[in-house]
Amino acid sequence: MAKSGTLILNAAARLLLPLQLLFSLFLLLRGHDEPGGGFIAGLVAAAAFALYLFAFGRRPLSRMLAVSPRDLVAMGLLLGVGSTLPAWWVGEPFFTAQWWTIPIIDFKASTVLIFDIGVYLVVVGSVLTAITALVKTDQHEDER
């Protein structure tokens, strides 16, 4: 699985990646009211990165990501656990959802959204961890 993309694949990956990522963010944010949500959005983003990986290989991908997928998993877990805590602050039971409205843009912010972002990061991170690990061992095999 070295850098062996064809021209069409390379061009498509380059063009599709931002679109797919944008779409995944769209799915993530609208998920509470329309079909979507952190899990689905995470899968879309992971698929986008996988396409990029196929086209350009592992090193360009990790250079673009700048963080290790395993750190994404850890960040997601932290957000998930962290979103349970604000309820304690206002004296409600653990995990009670908290809602705030951000005034000017009239945006519903909530611990639920933070939690969903946590799900998103865990999904992206887990899938990418598995895929890049597989690619890496492939490369070992190739160099043999």
Partner 1 sequence: MQLAVLGGFAMASLAPLLHQWFGARTPRVMALLPAAIAVWLLGQWPVIAAGEVLLLEWAWVPGLDITLTFLIDGLSWLFALLITVIGALVLVYSGEYLRGHRDLPRFLVVITAFMMSMLGLVLADNLVTLFVFWELTSITSYLLIGFNHTDPAARKAALQGLFVTVGGGLALLAGFVMLAGAGDSWSLAELVQRGETLRGHALYTPLLLCVLVGAFTKSAQFPFHFWLPNAMAAPTPVSAYLHSATMVKAGIYLLARLHPALGGTELWVITLSLVGALTMATGAFLAIRHTNIKTLLAYSTVMALGTLTLLLGLGTPQALTAFVVFLLAHSLYKGALFMVAGILDHETGTKDVTAMGGLRRAMPRTAAVACVAALSLAGLPPLLGFVGKEAMLASVLAAEAWRPLILLLAFTAAFLTLAVAAIVALRPFFGAPRETPTSPHEAPSAMLAGPALLAALSLVFGLAPGLLDPLVAATLAGIGAPAAGVHLALWHGLNLPLALSLLSLALGLLTYRYWDRLRARLACLAPIMARGPEAGYEALMAGMVAVAGWQTRLLQNGHIRNYLAMTLLVLVGLVGHALFFRHTFTLDVDLDVYLHEAVVAGLMVAGAVAACVMRSRLAAVAALGTMGFSIALTFVLFSAPDLAITQLLVETLTVILLVLVLFRLPRFATLSTPLERLRDLAVAVLTGGLITLLMLSVLSGERLPRISDYMVANSQPLGHGHNIVNVILVDFRALDTLGEMFVLALAATGVYAMLRFHARDHAAARPAPPRESDDG
Instruction: Pick one of 20, 55, 56, 119: the residue that binds partner 1 (CB under 8 A).
Output: 119
Q: How far apart are CA 62 and CA 105, in angstroms?
A: 35
Residue identified by tokens 């997928």 is 69
Judge whether 36 and 28 are in contact, CB under 8 Å: yes
The site string for partner 1 over 65-104 (x = CB under 8 A, - otherwise) reads x-xxxx--xx-xx--xx--x----------x-x-x-----
- Can you tell me whether residue 108 is helix, strand or coil? strand
Instruction: Pick one of 16, 23, 57, 129: the residue that binds partner 1 (CB under 8 A).
Output: 129
- Nearest distance from residue 40's CB to partner 1, in Å? 5
Judge whether 112 and 59 are in contact, CB under 8 Å: no
Q: Is 5 in the site for partner 1 (CB under 8 A)?
A: no
Q: Is 13 in the site for partner 1 (CB under 8 A)?
A: no
**Residue 71 is encoded by which pair of tokens?**
């750190």
- Nearest distance from residue 27's CB to partner 1, in Å? 8
Q: Is 122 in the site for partner 1 (CB under 8 A)?
A: yes
Looking at the chain, list the stretches that DSSP marks H as alpha helix, in order from N- to C-terminal side. 7-30, 38-56, 58-65, 69-82, 86-89, 111-143
Residue identified by tokens 């991170």 is 125
Binding site for partner 1 (CB under 8 A): 1, 31-40, 43-44, 46-47, 50, 54, 58, 61-63, 65, 67-70, 73-74, 76-77, 80-81, 84, 95, 97, 99, 108, 110, 112, 115-116, 118-119, 122-123, 125-127, 129-138, 140-141, 143-144
